[in-house]
Every structure is written in structure tokens, then in C-alpha cells.
Amino acid sequence: MTSTAIPHPAARAEQLGVILAIVSATCFATKAIFVKLAYRHGVDAVTLLTLRLVGTLGILGLLRLLWRRPAQAPMARRDIGWLLLLGFLGYYLASVTDFIGLQTVSASLERLVLYLYPTLTVLFTAVLTRSAITRRTMGALALTYVGIVLVVWPGLHDAHADVAGLLWVFASNVAFALYLTFSPPLIARVGSLRFTEMALSVSAGLMLGHFLLTHPATQLIQPWPVYAYAGVMAAVATVLPLYLMAMAMQRIGAGRTAVVGSFGPIITIVLGMGVLDEHLSAVQWLGAVVVLGGVALVSRK
């Protein structure tokens, strides 16, 4: 008589965390495509991001009405401070710099450069925890940066890979990696859903303030496709993947969450080729493979 092995609860939780991280990465991969499509209608980065985050707040409010949860204990003052900082880093600063970069960088290159955040997250986590950086991690870091050089170097002569745009995207990288590094302890204390909702609300408030200080309110009047793309970004490329990411980090930690969805840039490249008519040269494809190889190397246990 044969018996079916029942997975250990910890193993099941880890498997679920990996699945959540993969789906989150897939949803995130669509964001750059929608941004580039919206830019075709003349909207600027700050206005588009404001519309996206206003839509995000609307979705969160609807979820709160439909999904009533038990009352939660007040947050400690320290946790509120961390929440404000992480909302600033992860959903405001990282988003603003990324959207500015996408004005002059193609969606394919943006996603490849942005995908350095897993290696930065591992590096920042090692520094924060004062743990030694292994030889394999150092090799993975070197490999990913060599890959990025191969990706961006051939295209620096045209507007799809200008240096300023790439630097904006890299700044987004650093902000998002810091967000991932410092989030897990707070998620463990306040819960993944509560953390995501409140951090998004902080970011939306900051973004709205940024818009009102730099733009006239009439700038929010845009062609209907801009509203459509902003709404899809809010639902598919913001709320859903951020919930999934927070739940994944709760199960498998920041480092593995950052690296487990290593196919995300390939999804963006394929979508960019099919929707935006973007293309990579043979050398750039080689760089993409090298980048993903470095990410895969650092993701191994």
C-alpha cells in the first residue's frame, strides 16, 4: 500500500510565496507598456502617475467597503514613522523616477535596468544585517552589471537609451531596493494587507501634493485613453501585484521575493516587441540573458 507524502506546512507556505512572487512580477511587467502607450497621448509623467495613484486609492476604498475586516489595534508611533518612510520610498520616489525615465527610455531597456533591484536588495540586506556577502553573491552582482552594460551600451546613441533616462530608472532601482530591504519587519508587525493599503495611501497623498505644487488642476483633464491606461495600471500593475508582493515577502522574505520572478523583464520585452514595436539587438539579447543569469544565481538558496 502506497502513501502520498503530505508537504510540510513550511514547505507549502514557501511554495505559495514563490507563486505569489511570480504572479506579482508578471503584473508589474505590464506597467511600462501601459506607461508608454499613455505617453503617446501627450500626458506627462507626474500627471499620469497622479491619475494612477488616484485610481489606486479608489480601488482600495472599494475593497475596504466590500471586504470588511475586524478592527485592528492602533499602530505604534515607530511603525507609523516607518510606514511614512517606506510609502515615500517604494510607491512615491521609485515611481516618480521610473516614470520620468520612461519618457526617454524604451520599455524593454527600462525593465532590464530596473531588474537590478534584486541584486541591490540582497546587497542592502547583507549590509543591514551585517552579514558577510558570499562569493556567489559578489559574482552574481558582477554578472548582472556586466549584462546591463551589454544591454544599454549599443543603444546609447538613440533616444531610447539616453543617459539621463537610464540614471532616472537606476534611481528608481535604488529606492525600490531600499523599500524591499526595510519592509519585512514592519509587514510582520502590522500585516501584509494593512501595510500595503497604508503605504499606498501615503504615496498617493505625496503624489497628489507633488502634482498640485507643480501643475494646474486643469492638467488632470486628459483624453479618455489616458484615463483607461491609468485605471488598468492602478488595478493590474499596482494594487494586485503589491498585495501579492507583500504576502510573498511575509512567506519567503525580501531577497527571494525580489529575485524569484526573474522572467519579468522577458515578459516586458516580448510585450514591447508586440505592442510597441521595440526590438533588441543580438548583443542586447546576450546582455538580457547575462542579467537574468546573475539574478538566478543570487536567488539560489
Q: 295 near 266, Cβ under 8 Å?
A: no
* Residue-range definition of the domain harbouring residue 267: 19-66+75-299
- Other C-beta atoms lying within 10 Å of the C-beta of residue 104: 18
Residue 2 lies in a domain: no
Q: Which residues pair with 161 in a beta bridge?
A: 105
Q: Which amino acid is at 68?
A: R
Percent of the chain scored above 70 by pLDDT?
81
Residue 213 lies in a domain: yes
| The pLDDT value given to residue 181 | 86
Residue 29 lies in a domain: yes
Counted domains in the chain = 1
* Statement: residue 180 has pLDDT above 90: no
* Statement: residue 111 has pLDDT above 50: yes
- Residues 189-238 have pLDDT tens digits of 888 778 888 888 898 889 999 999 999 999 999 999 999 999 999 999 88
Q: 157 near 47, Cβ under 8 Å?
A: no
Residue 89 lies in a domain: yes
Which conformational region is residue 42 in: left (phi greater than 0), alpha (psi within -120 to 50 degrees), or beta? left
* Residue 133 grid cell: 556577502
Determine the length of the chain: 301
Residue 9 lies in a domain: no
* Statement: residue 157 has pLDDT above 60: no
- Residues 59-100 have pLDDT tens digits of 888 887 777 666 677 788 888 999 999 999 988 999 899 888
- Confidence band of 7 (pLDDT split at 50, 70, 90): low
User: Whole-angstrom Cα distance, residue 92 to residue 56?
Assistant: 13
Between the alpha carbon of residue 111 and those of residues 5, 80, 105, 171, 175, the distances in Å are 40, 31, 10, 13, 15
Percent of the chain scored above 90 by pLDDT?
20
Residue 11 lies in a domain: no
- Residues 257-271 have pLDDT tens digits of 766 666 666 677 777
| The pLDDT value given to residue 71 | 66
- Confidence band of 13 (pLDDT split at 50, 70, 90): confident
Residue 7 lies in a domain: no
Residue 41 lies in a domain: yes
Which conformational region is residue 175 in: left (phi greater than 0), alpha (psi within -120 to 50 degrees), or beta? alpha
